[in-house]
Every structure is written in structure tokens, then in C-alpha cells.
Amino acid sequence: MSSDGGGTLVVGLSIPEIQGTLIQADAAFYDDSALTHLLLYTSSDAAFLLQEARADGFDYITCNLPKSLEPRTDVTSLDSRWWRTSIVGRMETPSMQQMEWAQHMNIPAVLLPEVSPRDVDTCQKIASLALVASASNGQVWIQTRLTEDSINAFDSLHRFCDGASNVGMMLTLDNDVRDVGNDAQTLVARQVVLLHKAIGSQLKAICFPTSVFLTNKRGYPALSKTHQVLFTEVLGRIGKTVRVLLEGPSKHEVGECGKTKCVPYLQYIRHLRQRPEIAQILDSPEASLEEPYLDQLQRPLQPLADQLEFQTYETFEKDPVKYLQYQKAILAVLRNGVATIQGNPSQTRITIMVVGAGRGPLVRVALAAIAELGTPLNFHIYAVEKNPSAVIYLESLARYDASWKNAVTVVHSDMRQLDPHKLGNAQADIVISELLGSFGDNELCPECLDGLIGTGVWKDTTVSIPSSYTAYLAPVSSMKLHSEARAQSFFPAKPTSGGLDSAPMGVQCAMETPYVVRTHAASQTHPEQRCWSFAHPPVKRDKERTCHLVFQPDPTHGAGSGSGYGPYDPALAAIAQSMSTADAGSISVHGLVGSFEAILYSGGGEEITISTRPKSFSVGMFSWFPLYFPLKEPLRVPGGADITCSVWRRTETNSAGSGRVWYEWSARVTDAMGTVLGQTHIHNPNGRSYNVTL
């Protein structure tokens, strides 16, 4: 290692593409994809060091930014493409002159030391630097340690910077584990919880000092069990976007050492990355498909006003879990109910209505369930669909597909205005629908099925699949989602109107809209709680709902629930659980994350469900991402404090029969004495910013 002046070496490696070329790295940096780094703290020639580092398989180095216009040889010897792809600039104290030079060179990220929130002057300087850097997509990374104080200091700095999306954390996993006097189990628990918090706090890079590596029997470097647990968690959660670094001079000059002498560390980190439990999370086809959606907010559908596209139907029909569950539910209904139905001498055949049939996947599984039943069944299926373009598809199947011919009648109608004559006045024995949204009822399933009841095709014995569904909610900490929501303010309020007069929606509207999003750089902070339920036929006519959920201090800070999407991790939660409630620190909450659990059918000892809430997640099902309700300003929840979330489902129908549905929400933080420590306003009063048209 040829570092001059006693410098410290930091090296790192790419997560998704260990052997990524520089050209890919260039694009990837701005795509927020993971990269390889080699950071060298003190150097007078970045050109020379970059060459050595690249020869060893690293992509990046750091170098100190030049002070007071000092001449340097690397400035003239290294082309711009290297500066803007392979150099992270290091600054000892915030300097506008250095930041302007970094911008001039298009250096993608600048690294700064941790700053205490009490040092407001330095925070003010960093806020200025971050604003300058943002003009050219430059990032500012703050060196942070895995301690309560250090992460809180970053949280505070980030608030001072008004939630700047380009200010992120480089988390150093150093030797704290051994230095603290607590017992080992609590120690690991604390680290796991802190890491969970960091993932919601703009964790851009993770850094291992070479000093934390142990030595294995053959003399090679290896991480302690604790560091392996932490690193595995980082990879599994945000391995697609995080950068990994190694810092310090080599202590393990074994095997093929390369010019930087840090190759053994690189090999070890690669080995961890390639473990099957990580590879199956990061390298699956599903992970690749999901990648463009990570933390990307989508405005929720207007299911009654918008027509789905052909491709959207096609994609969702491929869900490997959802339609299997529907088929099971239909089969169960047929098994449990057909005898009863056909026992009635006035009824000669089973009438199945698929309402909102789209391109017919539920017709397909109904036909499959009937075939699976194994006994001949006198039945007819009505496929009701409002989208005229989808009706062309359904009609084409009804005319040309052998299994559909004579068995299926396509009805082009909004289910709420269904004319019973078009169905020969048949009433439904089974109504099958898939109108659920990310929050269960948010795509107006309750209103649509109630509308269907009003048309007279529903009878006392009609069975609905789904039979009921429940919305769930949890607070979420995510600087990333919060800044993405704020960035929506620039988008046109009416994205589909085209033309030149579509004004941007503005901050108020942006922060009072719930978004469908694959939460990723996010941490659910408490176990989710039940909001409300709907059943079909309905228990009560009123479709307005209110719920107030008190989330009490949770020692795990919700670590087992990850980002709020995907299955709960009981093993990790068990580790975190060994920390006491009293030890749990504070956290920032940036919004609420909504999910649902639906019972498709319950009867005859069977219950067939689908779920997106972490505690009961249907593994493999991809049809729904969570719903993110932003809070306009993040709420600070100190250790030991409660957060109470209120959500209202409101409806409005005008005399013409049309109307709208919307949610309102707020949150409040109280300490053990009930003193209010913080609260938000009520978001979206009267549906002023967002509502769904009936």
C-alpha cells in the first residue's frame, strides 16, 4: 500500500455487480445503484492511486479536495470522465471553495465528518454546500457511526438541511461492539435496531475499517458474527442501492494481495455478497423487475375514471399467488355451497358473476376451479367489465376460446349500473371481484359492490369473493420517501390533461396525497395495527370510517417489519427484542404505511386469505405495493413516547348520484405523562388535495 504521509486507506465493493465496469458505474451512480469504492484519505495523486485501485478490482477512490487553489498533478493528468465517475471528494470542514471545485469537476459525492447538532454554524454551512451540490446532482455524505448519538446527529443535520435529498449517511461499522460494557446480546440487539433506523435515514454507504476484521485460521480476514448479521441485513434490505467501503491500511497481506494490498478484504466481502441467502434476495428475477419501482411514488389509480392499459392487465395476471388463492376460494365455495344451491328445486344452474373482469383472469380461474371440482356442474359465468377496450379482449375469448364458448357471457357495463335484463334476470350465486387497493378499500371496492347490490342481481344467499378485508397501518421512518413526496410538488396536478396549462401541484397537494410505493429505504417503526374492515354483503351501509391507533414504545423499533413491505422477520425481531423498552431511542416518523389483509372465503373449516401486511404477508404475491401517507413535516418521537395516528375514510355523494371518497390523516406524539410533544395538522381536509371519484 503506497499511501504517503501515514494516510488511511478505505476500499469498498459493488453489491449487485461485483465486476461492474466503469461505464456502468457512471450511469449507476446517478441511478443510485450500488458501486465499488476504494477510498484513500490522504493522497497527492488521485490518478496514480485510481490506477492501482482499479487494477485490484475497485472502482472508486476518495481524495482530499484541493485547499486554496493549490496546484496538483492529478488535476491535469486525469480526464474528466474519471473525476465524474471514480472520485469521492473528502472535505475536513465545510468549504464553499472546495465544493465549487468538486462541482466544477462533477465529482459525484463529497464526504464530510459528523457534525453535532449543537454546532448549528457548521450545519448551516453544510446546508449551503448541499444546495450548491444539488444543482449538479452532487451528493453530500456525512460520516456517521452506529450509535444513537451519531444517528441522531445526522437526523438533526438532515432537518437543518430541510430534508435535502442529496444529503446522505456513510455509516462506519467500527469496533464499538467491543468497547461497550453491556452484555453481548443487548449489544447486538442495539446495533440491529440502530441499523434499522439508519436504513430509513438516507443510508447511502456503509464502511468497514480494516481494523474490525478478525483473522481466520488460514490468516485471512473475516468479520465477527455481529458484523456479519448487520452486513447481511444491509444487503438484504438495501443491497441494490447501498455502496460498501473498506477503510484503513491492510492488516492481512495474504494470498494475492494486489497493489493496494486490500484484495483479501474485497474477496471476503464478495464472498458474503454471494451467499445464497443474499443472492436469492438481490439476484432474483423479481428483484430485477422491482428495481425501477424502489421508493418511486405512484399516484393511486382513479379506478372508476381511469381505464387500465392492456399491459397493466397482462403484468398483474402473472401474480403467482393471488389467482391461486382465488381459485382455491372458488373451489371451496363450490364444494361447500353447490349442494345447497342445487338442492333448491327452483334453481337449475349456478350463476357466477365476475365483476370488473378486465381481461378475464378470474373467469379463467373460475373455469379452472369448476374443472378441478371433478363433478359435472350446470353453470354460467357473466363477465362484467366497464372498460370498452378490455371488453374487446373478453369478447374475443368468448368467441374464439373453446373453454369460454357458451360458458361465458360478456357484459359491457359499469357494475353499479348493471341492467339485469342483459343477464336474463339471473341473480348471482357467486360474485367474484378483485377491486382491492393497497389499503384494501382505497380503490372503492365497498362502493362498487354495494352498487352491484343495488342493481338487484344480488340475493340473500349470494357469496362474495372476497368476503371481507381489513386495512392496516403503521408509522414509517423514511427520509427518502419524504423527499420523494416533496419532489412531487413539481409534477402537474393533472398528469393526463396534456397541454401547457397543467400547473404543478404544489407542496400542499403533494404532501396530502397517499402514494402507492415499493417502500425500500424505509423503516416501519412499530408493528402495524388494524384500522377498519369491510364485508360483503355489508354489515352496515355507512362506508365512512374513523380510527385512532396508539403506537406505544417498541424496543425493536419495528425492526422485524423491515420497510413495511414483505414478510415479517421473526428471527431478526427476536434479536432486537432483547433490548429493553427503556433503552429504545428516538426516531423520526415521515408518514404512515398502509397495507391490507383480505379473507377471500371462510367456511367449512377453511379460510383462504391474501395479505400485504408484514405479519401475514403472502410471500411471492406482487400485485400490491404499500400505500404511503406522507406527513408534511417529519415528527420526532423520543424514546418512551407514544405516537397516535388518526385516519378518517370520508365519502360524499351528491344529488346526481356521483360523489367521491378520500382519506384524512394526522399524527400526535405524547410522552408517558400525556404531554403533547409534537403533532401534525390534519392532512387533506375535505379531500382538498386528493380524492377518488365515484
Q: Write the CA distances from 591 to 485, 512, 522, 665, integer angstroms.
A: 10, 11, 10, 10
Length reported for the chain: 694
In whole angstroms, what is the distance from residue 230 CA to residue 676 CA? 35
CB of 497: closest distance to a copy of itself in angstroms? Answer: 8
Closer residue to a copy of itself in complex, CB, 27/672: 27
* Dihedral angle of Cα 155, 159, 161, 163, to the nearest 10 degrees: 90
Closer residue to a copy of itself in complex, CB, 396/529: 396
CB of 407: closest distance to a copy of itself in angstroms? Answer: 16
CB of 54: closest distance to a copy of itself in angstroms? Answer: 20
Question: Strand 379-385 relative to strand 350-355: parallel, antiparallel, unpaired?
Answer: parallel
Closer residue to a copy of itself in complex, CB, 63/593: 63
CB atoms within 10 A of CB 217: 6
Catalytic residue from among 114, 233, 247, 434 = 434
In whole angstroms, what is the distance from residue 132 CA to residue 137 CA? 9
DSSP states of 47-59:
HHHHHHHHHTT--
Q: What residue spans of 541-683 are helical by DSSP H? A: 570-577
C-alpha cell of residue 189: 440487539
In whole angstroms, what is the distance from residue 74 CA to residue 91 CA? 17
Contact 489, 634 (CB under 8 A): no
In whole angstroms, what is the distance from residue 316 CA to residue 293 CA? 15
Phi, psi angle pair for 437, to nearest 5°: -110, -175
CB of 266: closest distance to a copy of itself in angstroms? Answer: 29
C-alpha cell of residue 449: 359492490
Closer residue to a copy of itself in complex, CB, 101/220: 101
CB of 507: closest distance to a copy of itself in angstroms? Answer: 6
- Taking alpha carbons only, the member of 416, 485, 439 closest to residue 648 is 439
CB of 70: closest distance to a copy of itself in angstroms? Answer: 7
Closer residue to a copy of itself in complex, CB, 162/183: 162
Is 70 part of the annotated catalytic residue set?
Answer: no
Catalytic residue from among 114, 385, 443, 512 = 443
Q: Which amino acid is at 690?
A: Y
Q: Tell me: cis bond preceding 361? Omega within 30 of 0 counts.
A: no
In whole angstroms, what is the distance from residue 449 CA to residue 202 CA? 42
Strand partners, 469: 534, 598
CB of 76: closest distance to a copy of itself in angstroms? Answer: 5
In whole angstroms, what is the distance from residue 80 CA to residue 66 CA? 16
Closer residue to a copy of itself in complex, CB, 77/552: 77
Closer residue to a copy of itself in complex, CB, 219/504: 504
CB of 97: closest distance to a copy of itself in angstroms? Answer: 6
Is 17 part of the annotated catalytic residue set?
Answer: no
Is residue 690 helix, strand or coil?
coil
Q: Angle 491-497-500 (CA atoms, 0-180°, nearest 5)?
A: 70
Instruction: Tell me the residue ranges of DSSP E strands in 397-526.
Output: 408-412, 430-433, 463-465, 468-477, 515-516, 523-524
CB of 50: closest distance to a copy of itself in angstroms? Answer: 16
Q: Dmax over Cα atoms in the chain, in whole Å?
A: 98
C-alpha cell of residue 501: 396549462
Instruction: Tell me the residue ranges of DSSP E strands in 501-586.
Output: 515-516, 523-524, 529-535, 545-551
Binding interface with a copy of itself (CB under 8 A): 66, 69-73, 75-76, 79-81, 83-84, 97, 100-101, 103-106, 131, 134-136, 162, 307-311, 314, 387-393, 395-401, 412, 486, 489-490, 492, 495-500, 503-504, 507
CB of 306: closest distance to a copy of itself in angstroms? Answer: 10
Strand partners, 379: 350
CB of 163: closest distance to a copy of itself in angstroms? Answer: 9
Closer residue to a copy of itself in complex, CB, 412/636: 412
Closer residue to a copy of itself in complex, CB, 205/391: 391
Closer residue to a copy of itself in complex, CB, 71/345: 71
Question: Strand 627-637 relative to strand 523-524: parallel, antiparallel, unpaired?
Answer: unpaired
In whole angstroms, what is the distance from residue 179 CA to residue 293 CA? 40
C-alpha cell of residue 297: 411514488
Closer residue to a copy of itself in complex, CB, 68/654: 68
Instruction: Tell me the residue ranges of DSSP E strands in 85-176.
Output: 87-90, 109-112, 139-145, 167-172
Q: Write the CA distances from 219 to 222, 252, 254, 372, 429, integer angstroms.
A: 9, 7, 7, 61, 72
In whole angstroms, what is the distance from residue 38 CA to residue 34 CA? 13
In whole angstroms, what is the distance from residue 108 CA to residue 134 CA? 10
Kindly list the catalytic residues: 434, 443
